[in-house]
Amino acid sequence: MRVPTWLYFLVFTGLLIGNVKVYQTLFAKPVLTVSVLKVGKAESGNSATLVRTPSGKILLIDVGPDASIVRALGLALPPWQRRIDLVILTSTKSAFAGGLPALESRYHVSKRIDIGDSTAPYGSRLTPDSDIFINIIAPSTFTVSYGSTIFSISSSTSKGVYTSDGNAQSSEV
Q: What is the mean pLDDT of residues 85-114?
A: 90
Bridge partner list, 129:
132
Ordered by where they begin, the domains of the chain are 29-169 (3.60.15.10)
Residue 106 has pLDDT above 80, yes or no: yes
For range 33-44, the mean pLDDT? 80
Report CA-CA distances (Å) from 7 to 1, 2, 15, 21, 90.
14, 11, 12, 21, 58
Q: List, for residues 3-16, the tens digit of each pLDDT value.
A: 888 888 999 999 99
- Global pTM reads 0.78
% of the chain at pLDDT higher than 70: 90
